[in-house]
A and B are shown apart, each in its own frame.
Chain A
Amino acid sequence: MNLEEEEENKLLMLTSADKWILSKVNTLAKEMTENMEHYELGLAVQKVHDFLWDEYCDWYIEMVKPRLYDKEDSTRGAALWTLKNVLITALKLLHPYMPFITEEIFQHLQSSEESIMISQWPTFKEEWNNKENEQEIDMLKEAIRSIRNIRAEMNVVPSRKAQVFVVSQHEDVRGVFEKSKTFFKTLAYASDVMIQEDKTGIGEDAVSIVIHNAVIYIPFADLVDLEKEMERLTKEREKMLKEIERVEKKLSNQGFVAKAPVSVIEEEKAKGEKYKAILAQVEERIAQLKK
């Protein structure tokens, strides 16, 4: 098999994640060129910066990791090819701004061209353009990001996996999620992913997250160990009560109030307010759990 055929074979194996990042970097090249034509250099560099951090590092690399680790995966070659080509394109776009590091990486990454300085500026490639795929992955990103957010809000540790239900009445939306089930496992700590049309089998206590054209449900017990959580909350409640008592004592001490500077008194009062607010939240959670 010659190199060209190999390339073509890889292209045939591109997954929707690969097509998505190729389309993204393609759009990036177009937008940056337009910005630069208008001398909006700050805006242009911000875009390539955001692309590398957010789309490429935070999402794409995370998405392809399972394919890279699995030597048997038939799309492993396509993943590597995409990783490399997208990075080369982004490096070229970044080169005018950061000439040295981009050259250093470029020369290590490939050997067909001798310098990034005299390489071709990326132009818009129609064959890389794939708006549909961009939309699909953007939808997936939204779902994963919202799961991560809710887990963070609820202090769920990453090691605690949870079942994820995606409910949508739209067949195409279900199709997209069906294809991308594995991403929920690698990127959103899912133990299992169910894609369905209605709420069959989803408990009343499930945590729900509404996204565009779909609702995600996670069984509450999957996220939280009831007993442990009760214990933690009870401790937290006791701690807050103690703190509130301490502050109130201090503020009712005439000697302290007379002598302390106004700012210190204000600070104490503010602390008292804060503790009370936390206490209210904790008690609300306890009440919820008891239900």
Chain B
Amino acid sequence: MKELEKVYDPSIVEERLYEQWMEKKYFHTKIDKSKKPYCIVMPPPNITGQLHMGHALDNTIQDILIRWKRMSGYNALWIPGIDHASISTELKVVQKMAEEGVTKSDVGREGFLKRAWEWKEEYGGIILKQLRKMGSSCDWDRVRFTMDEGLSDAVLEVFMRLHEKGLIYRGEKIVNWCPQCQTTISDAEVNHIDKAGHFYHITYPIKDSEEGLLLATTRPETILGDTAIAVHPEDERYQHLIGKTCILPLVGRELPIVGDTYVDREFGTGVVKITPAHDPNDFEVGLRHDLPRINVMNDDGTMNEKAGEYQGLDRMEARKRIVEKLKEEGYLVKIEDITHAVGVHERCNVVVEPLIKLQWFVKMEELARPAIEAYKKEDLRFIPDRFGKVYLHWLENIRDWCISRQLWWGHRIPAYYCEKCGHVEISKTAPSSCSKCGCDKLHQDEDTLDTWFSSALWPFSTLGWPENTEDLQHFYPTSVLVTAYDIIFFWVVRMVFSGLEQMGEIPFKDVFIHGLIRDEQGRKFSKSLGNGIDPLDVISKYGADALRLMLITGNAPGNDMNFIGNVWMLAEILPINYGMLLVLY
């Protein structure tokens, strides 16, 4: 036995031991059928990421579980990996290009992708190196990347299969559009924040009558796209008007007055304008009453040719002018100051515009059903159980998933359009000619897939799917997914239905939800608050053991925990641990 050093220096010891473990290949897992498999697939950090306290906690928990199971005689495998993070990475690359004074259109798609890959090569591995510093015992021989060859193939395979089953379709839908980023964004990427705004109370005259209908809107620029007026069918005040016609102020278009139970009688005057091209609820009303959709806005948030004299104006400027005109012509009754929740894009904080777009969608109803069943049958377990309700809530209220994004970095949609007959070919590789008309001029869809499309496949794609690999047979379904509660919908739900659909089996038995790490005042760590603690700083000062102990002490499933309160322990813990040992000599 060697003599122990008198003073424990974590930075020296930790580096030496990690190297020793790597050399001895302790982290590498060979399939051993005599042992029970235990597998965790690491939630892949974004390639744009730097290790933060959230990752540190997430990975500490996984490492504890995997080390424990390895010691307990399981065939324990922890697969690491990273995510291409479509929109975040694209924004970073665009930013970097802006510093050089170049834009995406200057360099073109190919040029841009070359830069994005270079960026990935340079920065993409940083976070994995940081995870090693934490002592993470993952199988580094099995690192996966959502855009590596195998995983890209898995993405195409799933797209083909879902399309064949009629579960992927292309359609006009109202989507959340970010006029700044020029892309569709998912519901979950919209932050609803309270903003000061106005209710503009406007009278719509009834045709051949002296009467008018009073209603209120917060977005008067959209009246140019109104195609109906709606009231509740059982509202005695307005029942007699259903079937009659209103005249749209400023435009003069005739609008049918329809009865729809979507209207809330108690809210405002009980009369609403219906603008199917600019509001998701109105879009649904429009479908029920077969109303035309008039889109009055361009993708950049300016008004288009349908807006007449307002064409070319920014939506906010158009709003101002339209209000002035309504006032001049006597339609404006009053302006009421209000505070209301406005949807903004979480990345750029620009107000999201609901717009109609031709997009690719995944039909959700059929896919959601088995995912709901799996939970109800207890094939899938949430720890703590209360998060099962969140999961169910999302699934039971699920809408079709818009999977196309107007971005370049990611998996390009495998749809090819015939330039002659317009036929759409779905194919893993570019078809040489149109299967319908034989024309050889086809072009691929410009859009890429939502970044969660590939992460939804993560638990089986990382094990080698669509190949029926030994890893897949031995380790699927995985044992537990460890994650924070903020991505239950984004990710957990989608992995479950994807696993059930493609593998016929849930991707993991347990979902262990841990809380978020907060500062001593209970605030989330964030760069803008300046309250972040860099886990790497803690490691270099006190060692990874101390960081891990701090993160896990007091940690209870699902609960947030405040970080600073634990710091005092650092000073005490290591010397005592070590000193205790010296007693033996």
Chain A contacts to B: CB under 8 angstroms: 36, 38-43, 45-46, 49, 52-53, 56-57, 61, 83-84, 87, 92, 95-101, 103-105, 107-111, 114-115, 117-121
Q: How many A-B residue pairs have CB under 8 A?
A: 122
User: What A residues does B577 contact at CB under 8 A?
Assistant: 52, 98, 101
Q: In the complex, A119 Cα to B72 Cα: how many Å?
A: 9
Closest 3 CB pairs of A and B: A121-B71, A42-B555, A98-B545
Interface contact A105-B555, CB-CB below 8 Å: no
Contact stretch, chosen from B13-21, B190-198, B232-240: B13-21
Say yes or no: A39-B383 contact (C-beta < 8 A), given A46-B553, A100-B14, A121-B71: yes
User: What B residues does A115 contact at CB under 8 A?
Assistant: 20-21, 24, 26
User: What A residues does B552 contact at CB under 8 A?
Assistant: 41-42, 45, 97
Interface contact A99-B554, CB-CB below 8 Å: no
- In the assembled complex, B548 has its CB within 8 A of some CB on chain A: yes
Q: In the complex, A180 Cα to B289 Cα: how many Å?
A: 90
Binary per-residue interface labels of chain B (535-559) against chain A in the complex, 1 for a CB within 8 Å, 0 otherwise: 0000000011100110011111100
Chain B contacts to A: CB under 8 angstroms: 1-4, 8, 10, 13-14, 17-18, 20-21, 24, 26, 61, 63-65, 67-68, 70-73, 135, 137, 383, 510, 512, 543-545, 548-549, 552-557, 574, 576-578, 580-581, 583-584
Q: In the complex, A103 Cα to B18 Cα: how many Å?
A: 10
Interface contact B135-A99, CB-CB below 8 Å: yes
CB distance from B560 to the nearest CB of A (A): 13
Interface contact A118-B71, CB-CB below 8 Å: yes
Secondary structure type dominating chain A contacts: helix
Interface contact B553-A117, CB-CB below 8 Å: no
Interface contact B545-A121, CB-CB below 8 Å: no
Q: For residue B482, which residue of chain A has the nearest CB?
A: A39
Q: In the complex, A36 Cα to B557 Cα: how many Å?
A: 11
Q: For residue B513, which residue of chain A has the nearest CB?
A: A39
Q: In the complex, A101 Cα to B63 Cα: how many Å?
A: 15
Interface contact B583-A120, CB-CB below 8 Å: no
User: What A residues does B578 contact at CB under 8 A?
Assistant: 101, 105
Interface contact B555-A61, CB-CB below 8 Å: no
Q: In the complex, A40 Cα to B68 Cα: how many Å?
A: 13
Interface contact A100-B71, CB-CB below 8 Å: no
Interface contact B21-A101, CB-CB below 8 Å: no
Q: For residue A119, which residue of chain B has the nearest CB?
A: B71
- Name the contact of A97 in the complex, choosing from B4, B18, B20, B549 (C-beta under 8 A): B549
CB distance from A99 to the nearest CB of B (A): 5
Interface contact A57-B580, CB-CB below 8 Å: yes
Interface contact B553-A99, CB-CB below 8 Å: no
Count chain B CB atoms within 10 A of each CB in A38, A46, A101 and give the residue with the most. Answer: A101
Say yes or no: A42-B71 contact (C-beta < 8 A), given A109-B1, A118-B26: no
CB distance from B32 to the nearest CB of A (A): 13
- Name the contact of A120 in the complex, choosing from B73, B510, B555, B584 (C-beta under 8 A): B73
CB distance from B156 to the nearest CB of A (A): 36
- Name the contact of B583 in the complex, choosing from A61, A95, A107 (C-beta under 8 A): A61
Interface contact A52-B580, CB-CB below 8 Å: yes
- Name the contact of A99 in the complex, choosing from B4, B67, B510, B574 (C-beta under 8 A): B67
User: What B residues does A45 contact at CB under 8 A?
Assistant: 549, 552-553
Given contacts A42-B555, A99-B17, 9 further A-B contacts (CB under 8 A): A46-B554, A96-B64, A99-B135, A100-B10, A100-B545, A101-B8, A104-B8, A115-B21, A117-B26
Q: For residue A65, which residue of chain B has the nearest CB?
A: B583
Say yes or no: A56-B64 contact (C-beta < 8 A), given A45-B549, A97-B549: no
Say yes or no: A100-B73 contact (C-beta < 8 A), given A105-B581, A108-B2: no
Say yes or no: A99-B543 contact (C-beta < 8 A), given A83-B584, A105-B4: no
CB distance from A213 to the nearest CB of B (A): 33
User: What A residues does B555 contact at CB under 8 A?
Assistant: 41-42
User: What B residues does A87 contact at CB under 8 A?
Assistant: 581, 584
Q: In the complex, A105 Cα to B580 Cα: how many Å?
A: 11
Interface contact B1-A111, CB-CB below 8 Å: yes
CB distance from A120 to the nearest CB of B (A): 6
Q: For residue A122, which residue of chain B has the nearest CB?
A: B71
Interface contact A100-B13, CB-CB below 8 Å: yes
CB distance from A139 to the nearest CB of B (A): 25
User: What B residues does A121 contact at CB under 8 A?
Assistant: 68, 71-73
Q: For residue A104, which residue of chain B has the nearest CB?
A: B13
Q: In the complex, A46 Cα to B552 Cα: how many Å?
A: 9
CB distance from B67 to the nearest CB of A (A): 4
User: What A residues does B549 contact at CB under 8 A?
Assistant: 45, 97-98
CB distance from B108 to the nearest CB of A (A): 48
- Name the contact of A117 in the complex, choosing from B64, B137, B557, B576 (C-beta under 8 A): B137
User: What B residues does A118 contact at CB under 8 A?
Assistant: 26, 70-71
Q: For residue A117, which residue of chain B has the nearest CB?
A: B26
Say yes or no: A108-B548 contact (C-beta < 8 A), given A87-B584, A99-B67, A117-B67: no
Q: For residue B569, which residue of chain A has the nearest CB?
A: A49
Say yes or no: A40-B556 contact (C-beta < 8 A), given A99-B67, A105-B4, A108-B1: yes
CB distance from A3 to the nearest CB of B (A): 16
* 11 intermolecular pairs with C-beta atoms under 8 Å apart: A42-B555, A46-B554, A87-B581, A96-B65, A96-B71, A97-B549, A100-B135, A101-B578, A105-B581, A108-B3, A117-B21
Q: In the complex, A45 Cα to B550 Cα: how many Å?
A: 10
Say yes or no: A99-B2 contact (C-beta < 8 A), given A39-B383, A42-B555, A104-B17: no
Interface contact B70-A117, CB-CB below 8 Å: yes
Q: In the complex, A97 Cα to B72 Cα: how many Å?
A: 15
Q: In the complex, A52 Cα to B581 Cα: how many Å?
A: 11
Interface contact A120-B13, CB-CB below 8 Å: no
Q: For residue B71, which residue of chain A has the nearest CB?
A: A121
Interface contact A95-B543, CB-CB below 8 Å: no
CB distance from B250 to the nearest CB of A (A): 61
Q: In the complex, A61 Cα to B555 Cα: how many Å?
A: 30
User: What A residues does B576 contact at CB under 8 A?
Assistant: 53, 57
Interface contact B68-A96, CB-CB below 8 Å: yes
Q: In the complex, A109 Cα to B582 Cα: how many Å?
A: 10
Interface contact B554-A108, CB-CB below 8 Å: no
Interface contact A98-B548, CB-CB below 8 Å: yes
User: What B residues does A104 contact at CB under 8 A?
Assistant: 4, 8, 13, 17
User: What B residues does A39 contact at CB under 8 A?
Assistant: 383, 510, 512, 557
CB distance from A226 to the nearest CB of B (A): 39
Interface contact A40-B581, CB-CB below 8 Å: no
CB distance from A141 to the nearest CB of B (A): 18
Interface contact B1-A41, CB-CB below 8 Å: no
User: What B residues does A49 contact at CB under 8 A?
Assistant: 553
Q: In the complex, A87 Cα to B20 Cα: how many Å?
A: 23
User: What B residues does A109 contact at CB under 8 A?
Assistant: 1, 581, 584
Count chain B CB atoms within 10 A of each CB in A41, A43, A57, A114 and give the residue with the most. Answer: A41
Q: In the complex, A9 Cα to B137 Cα: how many Å?
A: 40
Interface contact A42-B545, CB-CB below 8 Å: no
Q: In the complex, A115 Cα to B67 Cα: how many Å?
A: 12
Interface contact B574-A101, CB-CB below 8 Å: yes
Q: In the complex, A120 Cα to B8 Cα: how many Å?
A: 25
Q: In the complex, A121 Cα to B72 Cα: how many Å?
A: 5
Interface contact A84-B584, CB-CB below 8 Å: yes
Q: In the complex, A108 Cα to B3 Cα: how many Å?
A: 7
Q: In the complex, A270 Cα to B510 Cα: how many Å?
A: 57
Q: In the complex, A156 Cα to B498 Cα: how many Å?
A: 71
User: What A residues does B13 contact at CB under 8 A?
Assistant: 100-101, 104
User: What A residues does B383 contact at CB under 8 A?
Assistant: 38-39
Interface contact B17-A103, CB-CB below 8 Å: yes
CB distance from B503 to the nearest CB of A (A): 24
Q: In the complex, A97 Cα to B66 Cα: how many Å?
A: 11
Q: For residue A53, which residue of chain B has the nearest CB?
A: B576
CB distance from A38 to the nearest CB of B (A): 8
Count chain B CB atoms within 10 A of each CB in A45, A46, A109, A119 and give the residue with the most. Answer: A45
